Amino acid sequence: MKKNTHGEKALLAAEKLVEKMGGMDKSKVNEKLPLFVRDDIPSYAGIATFLKTPYYEDFNNIKDLDVAFVGAPFDVGTTFRPGTRFGPESMRSISKLFKTYNFEAGIDLALEMKMGDIGDIFSIHAIDREIEQLSEAVSTILKQNVFPVVLGGDHSIAYGTIKGVAKSIEGKVGVIQLDRHLDMTPLMMGEKMHDTPLYHAGSLPNVDPKNIVHIGIGGWQNDARAAAGTKERGQTVLTVDDVDELGVDKVAEIALEKAWANGVEAVYLTVDVDVIDSGISNGTGWPEPGGLLPREVLRLVRKLAEPGLIGMEVVEVSPPYDDNNQQTALMGVRIICDTLCSLVQNGHLPKK
């Protein structure tokens, strides 16, 4: 029997989706132009919330949402190039290019669930206080049974976000990070900078360091002591060579096995965009050549989302260093959309 190509499958899925939407609508062809921009056309117009989802002013009242996008415009944790305080803004603005429909999956996120943009977490620009802000903000979202998508921000925010997740659930939390760097240094410049969050996350009462998995690590910017400390704490590290030799699917399988081991109740995904080869994606604070290819990262996050996630973040998008194509911000948005799509495909979203 002839096997359908992925292209054929996608077109069949589109047909089914259109049926679900009530069929092809030909009546709008000669419709009168509206006076103001109120829908998603034209795509370059309108107010830049993430994916043009509705803005929710009252973050204590988002119970009807399935997914909340929230910015963390923070870059005081950077140790080289700053600029990630503009990360949320750039991902929101380039997200205008995206529709909520994914061709290959045949899924329209907006038809499947209710998504909203709740604006930004107020940044204190003092790391320890910022961590408390982030942790409170994330638990405020989770308390309302909403899936948080955090738009970073430098990677120091991860200690705050993971802390927010950890205090929101009774059981154990696993963490998977995609990054070129371990982020396992206890302190840098005497503070919990962006090279430290996974160290501190592993010290939280219900985060066992053995359930922390690092993917994409490598190159010339890691610290040998931090690496030895990572081994001492029993964490799993998978390098770019591992992805090369084992393939994305096998790497995802190993990562999931470790992150979910020993009765873990929920896994959080933190994606540092510097995991992508800096020749392709250079709008970031600590670019390190030799990283993963965009399509490897996208397949990886889709696989990692298969058993479900409690929340996710994309960090280290630094627009002042991004190219004119906003390539890094663009990848940040795709990472989020692909992860959400996989969560829908695998029945984890919507939760309500």
Which stretches of 36-151 are DSSP H helices? 87-94, 109-112, 127-143
Amino acid at 281: S
In the bound state with Mn ion, the residue whose beta carbon lies nearer, of 96 and 155, is 155
The nearest distance, CB 152 to Mn ion, in angstroms, is 10
Closest listed residue to residue 195, CA positions, set 208, 211, 214, 181: 181
Contacts of 15 (CB under 8 A, 6+ apart): none
CA neighbor of 285 nearest in space, from 156, 131, 191:
156
Least gap, CB of 179 to Mn ion (angstroms): 4
Q: Which amino acid type is present at position 194?
A: H
**Candidates 113-121, 201-209, 225-233, 270-278; binding stretch for Mn ion (CB under 5 A):** 270-278
Our CB check for Mn ion shows the closer of 178 and 256 to be 178
- Binding range to Mn ion, per CB under 5 A, among 132-140, 224-232, 267-275, 289-297: 267-275
Question: Residues 85, 92, 155, 210: which binds Mn ion (CB under 5 A)?
Answer: 155
**With respect to Mn ion, which residue has the nearer C-beta, 105 or 301?**
301
Residue with Cβ nearer Mn ion (65 or 149): 149
| Longest distance between any two alpha carbons in the chain, whole Å | 67
The DSSP line for 262-331 is TTEEEEEEEEEGGGB-TTT---SSS--SS-B-HHHHHHHHHHHTTT--SEEEEE---GGGS-TT-HHHHH
- For residue 215 the two structure tokens come to 């993917």
Number of residues that bind Mn ion (CB under 5 A): 5
Region binding Mn ion by CB under 5 A among candidate stretches 132-140, 151-159, 165-173, 287-295 = 151-159
208 lines the binding site for Mn ion (CB under 5 A)? no
Rounded to whole angstroms, how far apart are CA atoms 77 and 155?
Answer: 7
Q: How far is the CB of 182 from Mn ion (least distance, A)?
A: 8
Comparison of 259 and 315: residue with beta carbon closer to Mn ion: 315
Nearer to Mn ion, 155 or 334 (CB): 155
Nearest approach in angstroms of CB 318 to Mn ion is 12
List of residues 6+ apart from 245 with CB closer than 8 A? none
Which residue, 115 or 198, is less far from Mn ion as judged by CB? 198
- List, as one string, the DSSP characters of 169-221: -SSEEEEEEE-SS----S-BTTB--TT-HHHHHTTSTT--GGGEEEEEE-SSS
Q: Which is nearer to Mn ion, 52 or 181 (CB)?
A: 181
**Residue 216 three-state SS:** strand
Cα(67)–Cα(343) distance, integer angstroms: 11
| Site track for Mn ion across 271-290, x = CB under 5 A | -x------------------
* Residue with Cβ nearer Mn ion (182 or 267): 182
User: Which one of 34-42, 94-102, 154-162, 207-215 is the stretch in contact with Mn ion (CB under 5 A)?
Assistant: 154-162
Query: Interface residues for Mn ion in 162-181 (CB under 5 A)?
Result: 179, 181
Nearer to Mn ion, 173 or 182 (CB): 182
Where does this chain touch Mn ion (CB under 5 A) — which range of 12-20, 153-161, 215-223, 261-269? 153-161
Torsion, CA 112, CA 97, CA 49, CA 123, rounded to 10: 120
Interface segment toward Mn ion; rule CB under 5 A; list 99-107, 116-124, 148-156, 344-352: 148-156
DSSP category for residue 241:
H
CB of 204 to Mn ion, least distance (A): 18
Residue 267 Cβ, how far from Mn ion at the closest point, in Å? 18
The binding track of 178-207 with respect to Mn ion, each residue x by CB under 5 A or -, is: -x-x-x------------------------
- Binding to Mn ion (CB under 5 A) within 214-253 occurs at none
Angle between helices 294-304 and 327-345 (to 10 degrees): 30
Query: Which of 347, 340, 320, 342 has the alpha carbon at shortest distance from 87?
Result: 320
Q: How far apart are CA 338 and CA 2, in angstroms?
A: 29
Residues that bind Mn ion (CB under 5 A): 155, 179, 181, 183, 272
